[in-house]
Amino acid sequence: MSARIGVLALQGDTREHLAALGAAGAEPLTVRRRAELDSVDALVIPGGESTTMSHLLREFDLLEPLRARLADGMPAYGSCAGMILLASEILDAGAAGREATPLKAIDMTVRRNAFGRQVDSFEEDLEFGGLDSGVHAVFIRAPWAERVGPGVEVLASAAGHAVAVRQGRTLATAFHPEMTGDRRVHALFVEMVEGRA
Ligand code: GLN
């Protein structure tokens, strides 16, 4: 049976992740409610705006249930804003009262919008640990990881900083594989969820 993988659908590029997960062999579901969160084997947190998503997680009463499921070992994958939210600490977290809230699923410190205003968005081919050829990485106001804990494996780097990391069955990329036709990162996550990678 294929893994039931939810995509947090409060804000952001949900549809692209649903399509990529389906193509990678999972059963994709949207998650907006507590019952939906409870029903999935794993969760993808998409790109979007981490401050807005944090606000909506609170509004939808999902913040504590999501934290609890992550603490309980639910596998997760976050791209861009999703990577920011999975971190244990966020630098430049946003305006007071509207900050992005760390879910603390990966022992790392991320900086929001790390690549700076001049280079808001760019694309680069990166080597990616475990994949036999590079990935074409699309960065959009992307974060990077400034510190990773000892249990965190760095899978890809750009500008001297970690931009793809894995800790156990949790994965994060600062870039957006869901926006290219390459399904290998989602396939890796599906394998992680199913205990095959
Ligand atoms: N800069 C955004 C944030 O802080 C992330 C951008 C993205 O997800 N493409 O959340």
| Residue range 151-197, pLDDT digits in tens | 999 999 999 999 999 999 999 999 999 999 999 999 999 999 999 88
Is the C-beta atom of 113 inside 6 A of ligand 1? yes
Q: So what's the pLDDT on residue 119? A: 67
Question: Which residues contribute to the annotated binding site for L-glutamine?
Answer: 48-50, 112, 140-141
When the pLDDT of each residue in the chain is averaged and rounded to a whole number, the result is 96
82 C-alpha to ligand 1 centroid (Å): 8
By three-state DSSP, how is residue 26 classified?
coil
Segment 3-23 shows an average pLDDT of: 97
Q: So what's the pLDDT on residue 117? A: 62
d(CA 106, CA 112): 15
% of the chain residues with pLDDT over 90: 94
Is the C-beta atom of 47 inside 6 A of ligand 1? yes
Enumerate domains of the chain plus CATH numbers.
Answer: 4-193 (3.40.50.880)
Segment 79-86 shows an average pLDDT of: 98
Burial of residue 97 (CB within 10 Å: 0-12, 13-18, 19+) is: exposed
Segment 37-41 shows an average pLDDT of: 98
Nearest to 50, CA basis, from 117, 123, 121, 113: 113
38 C-alpha to ligand 1 centroid (Å): 26
Q: So what's the pLDDT on residue 49? A: 96
Q: So what's the pLDDT on residue 120? A: 82
Model confidence band, residue 116 (pLDDT cutoffs 50, 70, 90)? confident
34 C-alpha to ligand 1 centroid (Å): 24
Asked if the model's pLDDT at residue 24 lies above 80, the reply is yes
pTM here is: 0.97
For residue 13, give the ligand 1 atom closest to its CA.
8
Asked if the model's pLDDT at residue 118 lies above 60, the reply is no
Nearest to 146, CA basis, from 127, 166, 129, 160: 160
Q: What is the DSSP letter of 154?
A: E
Q: Which residues contact 7 (CB under 8 A, 6 or more apart)?
A: 14, 17, 18, 21, 28, 29, 30, 31, 43, 44, 46
Is 176 a known active-site residue?
yes
Model confidence band, residue 50 (pLDDT cutoffs 50, 70, 90)? very high
Question: What's the token pair of residue 61?
Answer: 């009463």
Segment 20-44 shows an average pLDDT of: 98
